[in-house]
Structure 1
Amino acid sequence: MPYLVPAEGKAREGKQAVAQSDMAALTAAAAAGSNPTKAEFDKVVTDLATIRTAHNALLAKLRTAGLLAP
């Protein structure tokens, strides 16, 4: 859908960002006991790193497409 760019005074077509693949399923599950084990905690840390990577990749693609400010 075209939109008006006031600074340029003409219509421009919007750009579409590059596709971002879906994130893999999370590996963490609810803790078995009242306190999580080290292995359970490590899964949460791994999942958080995966989410951060996917989030940053998406932001980079939106910036490249001109949909977010650099």
Structure 2
Amino acid sequence: MTMAYLKPAAGRARQGTQAANQTDMAALTAAAAAGSTPTKAEFDAVVADLGRARTTINGLLAKLRAAGIIASS
């Protein structure tokens, strides 16, 4: 019995298609707080960074689902 990984055609049949490109997340804008309590601007920078990270992660998950790599539900 020949194993599937030794048969090039069988291996290609199992391969999926590549998912669409996902752009890298932009550089973080937040920095360590200057004092012991963050200012509103420092807090807002963290919130903005978190929003961009969420968008990037959700984009990656959507592309993995579209490529059939992970289940859609």
TM-score scaled to structure 1, two decimals? 0.81
- Supply the distance in 2 between the matched residues of 1:15 and 1:47 (Cα, whole angstroms): 31
Of structures 1 and 2, the larger Rg is shown by 2
| 3-state SS of paired residue (1:21) | coil
Matched, 1:46 2:22: no
- Supply the distance in 1 between the matched residues of 2:46 and 2:25 (Cα, whole angstroms): 15
**Larger helix proportion of the pair:** 2
- Supply the distance in 2 between the matched residues of 1:35 and 1:22 (Cα, whole angstroms): 31
4+ residue runs of structure 1 moved beyond 4 angstroms? none
| 3-state SS of paired residue (1:34) | coil
How many matched pairs?
A: 63
TM-score scaled to structure 2, two decimals? 0.78
Q: Which runs of 5+ in 2 are unaligned?
A: 1-7
What is the Cα-based RMSD across aligned positions, in Å? 1.6
- Structure 1 residue 19: Cα displacement: 1.1
Instruction: State whether residues 19 and 67 of structure 2, in contact with CA within 8 Å, keep that contact through their aligned partners in structure 1.
Output: yes
Q: Which runs of 5+ in 1 are unaligned?
A: 4-10
